Structure 1
């Protein structure tokens, strides 16, 4: 297998990023009955690529993009110990490359970028029933924190 490396995403990566977005949505549909049917979009990819407070990374193996993830600097609630944190999202790895440490490579690079921005807290959201993802993020050093609840009316 060719070497995998992580780099900042570029506008020229848009086609792959759109495919990754649909991969994220497909993976999450079984956990969320509130998602609309048909084609939907989660992300403003242009903003993820161009905003100064966001770092969108891709994993590349040879000429193929195989994964993605971003860190977005957010303002924390005033009662928390930290003033800002980095929210991680758009974490995706092509199925053929899962279990090879690609997600960890992306997280490590996002941690490095976030730390260079003075950030001391990382956060992300997962569906409560997505145990494989929860276990993977716990293995990467994250811990369970809160559960969001909802009720349809």
Structure 2
């Protein structure tokens, strides 16, 4: 049986990661009517791979990249009891491998890096109506914290 493993992304992985980004955007469009209709990009993935305050992790099976995620070190609000936290994003698992624990493996690898940076808090955003993503994050130990609300005027 071939094992899935995680590793730090490199610039050689950029082409597939750009495809993953479009997969994330396509999955999120039904939850967000404010996204532009044309092709958009959320991230500068190449810059993130090269940054010292970001860790981009990929999951690999049989030499194929099947998942991704990043942790970015952020400054916490001055009223919180921690100075820094890690923001997680770019969480993607190829559709053929969903439900196999890939997301959890990526979060565990990111958690290890975050702890190595002396940081003890991780946060992420997820659309309220994206129940499958919410379940996946809760399975990985995340708990709902705040609700971000909006109104179009």
Q: What corresponds to 1:41 in structure 2?
A: 41
Matched position secondary structure for 1:2: coil
Q: What corresponds to 2:51 in structure 1?
A: 51
So what's the TM-score if we normalise by structure 1? Answer: 0.98
Q: What corresponds to 1:32 in structure 2?
A: 32
Runs of 5+ consecutive residues of structure 1 not aligned to the other structure: none
Residue 93 (structure 2) pairs with residue 83 (structure 1)? no
Q: What corresponds to 1:61 in structure 2?
A: 61
Q: What corresponds to 2:98 in structure 1?
A: 98
- Give me the whole-angstrom Cα distance separating, in 1, the residues matched to 2:46 and 2:98: 26
Size of the aligned set, in residue pairs, is 153
Q: What corresponds to 1:120 in structure 2?
A: 120
Moved >3 Å (runs of 4+)? none
- What is the deviation of 1:139? 1.2
Matched position secondary structure for 1:68: strand
Matched position secondary structure for 2:17: helix
Q: What corresponds to 1:150 in structure 2?
A: 150
So what's the TM-score if we normalise by structure 2? Answer: 0.98
- Give me the whole-angstrom Cα distance separating, in 1, the residues matched to 2:64 and 2:50: 22
Q: CA RMSD in A?
A: 0.8
- Give me the whole-angstrom Cα distance separating, in 1, the residues matched to 2:61 and 2:136: 21
- Give me the whole-angstrom Cα distance separating, in 1, the residues matched to 2:110 and 2:136: 16
- What is the deviation of 1:132? 1.1
